[in-house]
Structure 1
Amino acid sequence: MKAIRILVVEDETFVRMDAVEMLREAGFDILEAVNADEAIRLLALHSDIRLIFTDIDMAGSINGLELATIVQKRWPPIRIVSTSGHYKIQAGDLPAGARFFFKPYQPTQIIDAVHELINATWGEESH
C-alpha cells in the first residue's frame, strides 16, 4: 500500500526538519513547505495530500489559521493538525475536526492525532 502523503508547513528550518523526520519514521510520505503560500501551491499540484501539519506563526502573506480555513474550503477532505509555541487558540479559530498542539509537543501526540484523523476520514490504514 502506498504511504499516506502529509504536507508539513513550517518556516523554521530545524523545526520543519524534525517534524518531517518524525512523520517519515512513522511511515508517511512527506512534502515540505516553508510558508502557507508555498503550501497552497503544493496542495494544488498534489491531489494525494491527505493531511497538513502546520505551524500557526509563519512568515508570508497568510498564517497557519488562514491556511487551515483555505484548506477547509478548497480541499475539505484534507485533515489539519496545527501547532504553535505562542498563539493561544480560541474556539472557532480552526475548522471543525482540526487538532492543535502547543510547542513543544511530544512526537507521539502528533503521530496519534495523524493516525486518528486519517483513519476517521479515509478509512485507510495509516501506512
Structure 2
Amino acid sequence: MRAEAVDLCQDAGFTTYEARNADQAIRMLERHSDIRVLFTDVEMPGTMDGLKLARAVRDRWPPVSIIITSGRLKVGKDDMPENGLFFAKPYPPNGIIAALNDIAAQVHS
C-alpha cells in the first residue's frame, strides 16, 4: 500500500519521500525542510504508530499538513491532530489528490 500511495502522489506531480516507519519519517522531516504534508497509516512498524507520529509532527513542525489513513481502525476527531484529515481505506485516490491540491493551494497563497 505504501508504494501505491507514493506512486499516486508522484503521478499527481508531488515530490515524494518514502519512509517505512515513524523514525524514518522524522529523519526525513529533519533533512527536508520542503516537506509540507505527512501522509501516514495508523498501523506501522517501529516505535510509534501513525497517530503518535502525527502528534509528534504537529508539535515539532506545525506548518506540515497531516493526512492519516487506516483500513482497520476507526479514527475519531479526538484522535486526530489539529487540522488533520482522515481517509478510511480503501481511500478514493481522487480524494487524496484533491486534499493534496488544496494543501498546495493554501501553501502558495
Q: Same fold (TM over 0.5)?
A: yes
Q: State how many pairs are aligned.
A: 109
Q: Does the alignment pair 1:88 with 2:74?
A: yes
Equivalences for 1:49-88 in 2 at 5 Å? 49-88=35-74
Between 1 and 2, higher relative CO (CA 8 Å, sep ≥ 6) is seen in: 1
Could you tell me which residue of structure 2 aligns to residue 40 of structure 1?
Answer: 26
The structure richer in strand per residue is 1
Equivalences for 1:82-121 in 2 at 5 Å? 82-120=68-106
Letter in 2 for 1:123: H
Kindly, what percent of the aligned residue pairs are identical? Answer: 46
Cα distance between partner residues in 2 of 1:107 and 1:62? 26
Paired residues of 1:51 and 1:118 also in contact (CA < 8 A): no
TM-score under structure 1 normalisation?
Answer: 0.82
Q: Does the alignment pair 1:123 with 2:108?
A: yes
TM superposition shift of 1:123? 2.6
Residue segments in structure 1 that go unaligned for 5+ positions in a row: 1-14
Cα distance between partner residues in 2 of 1:55 and 1:46? 20
Paired residues of 1:35 and 1:58 also in contact (CA < 8 A): yes
Residue segments in structure 2 that go unaligned for 5+ positions in a row: none
Cα-to-partner distance string for 1:23-77 (whole Å, 9 max, x where unaligned): 1110001100001111001111111101011001111110000011011110000
Cα distance between partner residues in 1 of 2:8 and 2:77? 28
- SS of residue matched to 2:86: strand
Paired residues of 1:54 and 1:64 also in contact (CA < 8 A): yes
TM-score under structure 2 normalisation?
Answer: 0.95
Could you tell me which residue of structure 2 aligns to residue 22 of structure 1?
Answer: 8
The structure richer in helix per residue is 2
Paired residues of 1:79 and 1:117 also in contact (CA < 8 A): yes
